[in-house]
Each structure stands twice: as structure tokens, then as C-alpha cells.
Structure 1
Amino acid sequence: MDFEKELSEIYPWILKVARKFCCSMQDAEDLAGDTVYKLLVNRDKFDCSKPLQPWCLIIMRNTYIIRYNRNSLIHFTGLDMVDGSAISNCTAHSILFDDLVSTIQRCAKKSRCIDSVIYYASGYSYDEISEILNIPVGTVRSRISSARKFILHEIGY
């Protein structure tokens, strides 16, 4: 079996499945491209006696989940890490940053979860946050997850 030939034959199917995962055509094409790339890189791990489509589907699903999880996180930048001249040159960035800070302050008044997120954004591990706040690690994880959802809801995302 010629792996590349079979892959090129099922590419329309790969793109069709990617469209079901993604809302936009561009995202679907990116997902299909990433899937094909991973298939080609890992072709030596493929068992030629089995069909290719199920393996493609598994790789595509995992790629989509990883991308979705990465994009759903809120990435924080501490004030000490931000170049002041870069922010002053970009007023839109400043406005968004100020909105995010005010949202976090509002959330801190409504929920106890925000303290865990602030420590997490500062680079502390779950175990370190657990020791600082004197709460179990599971509670830290739960609070961080809840606070992310709370912040996303507050900013209307």
C-alpha cells in the first residue's frame, strides 16, 4: 500500500469531517492540514493491515480537542512583564487590558475562586497554591476551572 496515495485519495473525506468539527472553512482547512501533517509524520506507526480512515479520525479528533483546549484558556500577562511603551502605543490593547483587570476585580468581589487564578497566572503550580491557601489540590483545580468560566462569562466570551 502506498501511504501517500491512499492519503491523497481520502483527503476530501478528511476535509468533510474537519468541517463538522469547525465552524469556518478556514479552521476546517487548518484542522485537515494539521491532521495530514501528523499522519505523515507518524506513518511508521500505522498498521497497514487496518483501514486508514479510523486512524485519521482519531488523530483529527485529538488535534481538535488540543486546539480547542488551548484556545479556551485565558492567558495572563503580569504588569511587570509588559513593556510600557508597547502598551502606550496601542490604546486598544490598553483598553482591553484595563477591561480585563476591572473584570477580574469585579469577579474577586463575587467569588473566592479568583485568588487561585491570580496565583496560577503568576506561575504557581497547583501544589504551591494549595499550600499557600491551605486548601486541597482538588479544590484549587476546581476553583481555577470555575474562575476561568466565570471570567469568560463576565467578559461575554
Structure 2
Amino acid sequence: MEFLNHFRNGLVEGEDRDCFEKFLSPHVSMLYKSAIRMCGNPNDAQDLVQETLFCALKSFHQINDPEKSKYWMFSILRNLFLKDIEKTKKRAEIEFDSVCDKLTDRKHPEGDFLRAEVKSNLQEVLGKLDERLKIALVQFYFEGLSYKEISESLNIPIGTVMSRIARAKVYLKRELLRSESMRLEISKYIGDEE
């Protein structure tokens, strides 16, 4: 990640650079992946990660447990993202190639069409999803974080994390099943459990 090298090179030798290398640098890859899923494009994601790193370095003295810097940095990332959403009223688009690949069968010629339709429908539905629900859902399914890790990163109780994920899933299923082709495609994978 070239932007990371620019950031690192901009640091003066000493306390900031040591702090960055020891506590922040190991988590940049995770932050970047999360930022891409939140922002929907690499340029905005890089900007968000750089701003997160800058804020983390500036406020590192406030962290109680440096070993939990991963969750602390994710909280900064999330807060900056939400602040940007509030300012610009811009909705995030999330790339769902991995989900689309699971929902369509590449052996059939209609697979590309269905995959494009699934992706389009998912992006549209997720664009309408409340940001708090979307963030919990993304962290759980795309980042692979546990309920406890999400709870720590969002600074909310585990029960709230579970509730947000469950509500997001119900919303997604309901909205996606409104489309006949989506209903047929999704039913292959989730069955008729209504």
C-alpha cells in the first residue's frame, strides 16, 4: 500500500514512529479492508485510513490499553466514516463480489446476469440500511469479527451487536425476497425458512 509508505515516511524518527510501528501499523490492512467496504472505493478508503492513522497518532496518549489499539482504531475509522456520511449525506456502497459468487452458479450461462442483478439489488438494499446496522453486519460477515470484538470496537453491549446483526439480516432478506428472480436464486441457498 503506497499511501502507507507515504504516511510512514512523513513521520519523524522518535516516539510517533515507534508508536506507529508497534501499535498501529499491524492493523492497517484490516482498517483498509473495512474502509473499502464502508466507502465503496479505494481512493476514499485510503483517505479514511490516513485520517484514522493521523487521529490515532495524535490521540494515542489517551488509550488505556495499547494492546487493544486495533479496536480503538476501528472506532476512530467508524466515527470518521459516520461523520463524513452526516456531512455529505453520501451513502456508502459496499462491494459484494464474494456474496454474489456464492449466490450464483458460474456453470450456467445466466450466471453473469444473475450475479450482476444480485450485486445491484444488494447494493441498493444495503444503501437503504441504517448505518449502525450496516457496520455491525459488515464487521461480522465480511471482517470475520466475533460479537465480542464488534462490541469492543463499537463500544456497545454484545446483545446490541447481536440485535443489530439480526435486524439487518431480517431487513436484507425481506427486501431481497421482494424480487422474484432474487427469491428463486436465494431460495437455493437459504431454503424456505420464512
Q: TM-score, with normalisation over the residues of structure 2?
A: 0.35
Which one has a bigger Cα radius of gyration?
1
